[in-house]
Structure 1
Amino acid sequence: MKTTFLCGLDQIELPMISGRGERFADDYYITRDRSRITALLERFGNALGSVEARYLADRAKAVVYRSSDTEGDEVDLGTFLEKALIKDMLRLKSLELGLWLVKDNASLFDRTWIAAPPDRGIMVHTNTWASRNSSADGSFRAVPFSIEELRIARSIQTPQLPLYIRQNDSPTSLQKGSERFSRFQYFIGAARSIPDVALKIAQYCSGLEALVSTSQQELSHQVSERVAAVLHPPGDDRITTYKLVKQAYGFRSKAVHGATFKPNEVAQLKQISKGIDRVCRAVFEAYIEDTSPFREALETSDEDLNGFLIQILLGSAASTL
């Protein structure tokens, strides 16, 4: 069945993308062409409402759409559209992840729509992603992306997104048997959706901890040195990253244990958050490299991962990543 998916993309600045727009995945496009957007809106009839239609036509920074066949075996059209729209939203989350890997930003989509073809009668389903991204410093400013940066973002082969709550009828995604990298992604998603910078830092640190820790002892030291070793060979860069993650852990400890921050610490929060965000993006990139020994180690047992990390910390072939 041919369906049309539509949503606005905000908190991002893009160059003029005319006509059909810039393709970012099979059948998905981003456009700023108002005539194209108006034509897409016509497929929804009056089902969107005047406020929503004016937002998409006039105020959204860009519009993401798909108009193609959607597979499914649901007899009920409403259920079919509901499931198809969830798939569309997750595809857009993958683009959002690619944009973050290019650079820190607060790109946002919230309400989305999908329409059945006119020959089935106009039926529209809508859904929302109930979180709002902020940049690492807690701001919601629109970050500019060039066409080339957009193309890099779409070309990044990101791993499958972690299961989000209610995708599998579970009250938590942090279940036994879940993969380390999925848990890392889950915490990164939480960090990006929290505007409080101190709590944002806490989530970044929790993500790194879920990724590389293999025991509960000396966690801040263990995570800091392991992350630094994964990203850098011995030398100044490794030391700098170690100190940054260790300092972020200090802020995390205060945040999660209910302590307050002194004025000089408050002034440092934004810089530390931007730094730990860069570290998390670098770790993510190390994982998705074509031949990544780090990824291979993460997909083994805790014992084998521990041995890999000890080797790059203390072995003769220190950090070959």
Structure 2
Amino acid sequence: MKYFYVSKVHGLELNRTLNKGIQVVDNLRLSTSRKRIEEKADDFFIELVGMLEYDSLLYGPYLYAEGEYNLDGEKNREDRLELLNYFMRLSQTLPNALWTIKDNSVKTELGFLYIYDKDKDLHLEQASVSSNTRASYFLNSHGENVDTNFTFDEVSECLKRYTLIFDQNTAELEDMETAGIVTTKANRIERFMYFLQSARTQSFLPNRISSYCTALETLFSTDNQEISHKMSERIARIIGKDFPSREKIFKFMKTAYSVRSSNVHGDKLHKKYRSVEKQSQISSELDEYVRQLYNFVTSDDEIGPIYLRDNQDELIQYFNKLTLA
């Protein structure tokens, strides 16, 4: 028996056609080839998937994986759903990696797993099509769904960088198991990504801004004293190039923390920040700073290894040198 996993990618425009496609992680690939879908889809697959979903798969980018399915090793039909869920969790690698390049609302929603006979001589008691959805419904920094264009080189480069620190083993875990690891074993970068994903699902912008701040604290907070001041200072020092730019960033982070404080404590926002337009501007600018900071800590030769070791003392020493030197 063989398996074929496929999931439509929403919100992504590519500047070229991908046939075999770009490898994402494991044997999961990104493609735009209509022919590949048509080759795999027979009447059995189309009937169970439905014509509307099938037609959607034929146009635009999608993620797919294929390989041998060990029918003899199958304990029960739940094994097929576990395999489907594994690939759906791997599929989240793509929107996470694309975010490191620029703001977007790329996402996968519905995934299908087709188990079929190698020669398409279908035995209906063995063949099956399973489907499931993912809860992570990403929006852009304005809380909107938009199509975003990426070049082939942008997609290739961000996947190459992102998968260097991606722990594929977590894709084998159920959601509750992953949540437990976040609060017990995950390093700062892994915890950051968990909170970032939460932020990117928020359409209510004060919540989104609050979640961005929480994500940043997993990277730059080392105690619970004067958090907003220390965060603003450290972030300004890292990404500001000179005093004027650092002062601008410092003041902006104070603004973001003001919104967060009112939001999480159930207070009314200051009248300066009550308009959707102002919240959208803060969210968009904060999203860009978060991206710059993530790319910095995952590429800098000095601080990057400290995060991977998750060494608190080393991190404190680094920030002391950064702000006092």
Counterpart of 2:279 in structure 1 is 269
Q: Does residue 1:92 correspond to 2:91, yes or no? A: yes
2:174 is equivalent to residue 160 of structure 1: no
SS in 2 for 1:112: strand
Percent identity, aligned pairs only? 23
Q: What's 1:222 paired with?
A: 230
Q: 2:179 and 2:323 mapped to 1: Cα distance?
A: 37
User: Under a length normalisation based on structure 2, what TM-score does the superposition of the two structures give?
Assistant: 0.85
> 1:112-151, aligned counterparts within 5 Å?
112-119=111-118, 121-151=126-156
How far, CA to CA, are the matches of 1:200 and 1:9 in structure 2? 23
Q: Mind listing any 5+ residue stretches in structure 1 that lack a counterpart?
A: 316-321
Q: What does 1:165-176 align with in structure 2 at a 5 Å threshold?
A: 166-167=174-175, 169=177, 172=180, 174-176=182-184
Q: How much does 1:101 deviate?
A: 0.6
> Shift in Å at residue 293 of structure 1?
1.7
Match of 1:231 among 229, 233, 239: 239
What is aligned with 1:44? 45
Q: Determine helix, strand or coil for the equivalent of 1:102.
A: coil
- For these two proteins, the number of residue pairs brought into alignment is 312
Indicate if the aligned counterparts of 2:139 and 2:145 stay in contact, CA closer than 8 A.
Answer: yes
Instruction: Determine if contact 1:78/1:125 at 8 Å carries over to the other structure.
Output: no
Which structure carries more helix by proportion?
Answer: 2
Give the match for residue 251 of structure 2: 243
Contact 1:297 1:308 in 2 (8 A): no
More displaced 10-residue stretch of structure 1: 76-85 or 246-255: 76-85
Deviation of 1:128 (Å): 1.1
TM-score normalised by structure 1 residue count = 0.86
Is 1:206 aligned with 2:214? yes
Match of 1:301 in 2: 311
Do structure 1's residue 312 and structure 2's residue 322 form an aligned pair?
Answer: yes
Establish whether residue 252 from structure 1 lines up as the match of residue 260 from structure 2.
Answer: yes
Structure 2 gap segments, 5+ residues each: none
Q: Which residue of 2 aligns with 1:30?
A: 30
Q: Go from structure 1 to structure 2 and tell me whether the alpha carbon gap of 1:199 and 1:274 turns closer, same or farther (over 3 Å shift).
A: same
When residues 167 and 262 of structure 1 are mapped into structure 2, their CA distance, relative to the original with a 3 A threshold, is closer
Tell me the CA shift for residue 49 of structure 1: 2.4
- State which drifts further: 25-34 or 147-156: 25-34
In 2, the alpha carbon distance for the partners of 1:18 and 1:229 equals 41
Looking at structure 1, the residues matched to 110 and 101 of structure 2 have their Cα atoms a distance apart, in angstroms, of 24
SS of residue matched to 1:211: helix
Write the deviation string for residues 205-229 of structure 1: whole angstroms up to 9, x where unpaired: 0111122212111110111112222
State the SS of the aligned residue for 1:46: helix
Q: Secondary structure at the match of 2:233?
A: helix
**Residues 304 and 238 of structure 1: is their aligned pair in 2 closer, same or farther, counting only changes over 3 Å?**
same
Bigger mean CA offset, 26-35 vs 178-187 = 26-35
Instruction: Name the residue aligned to 1:6.
Output: 6
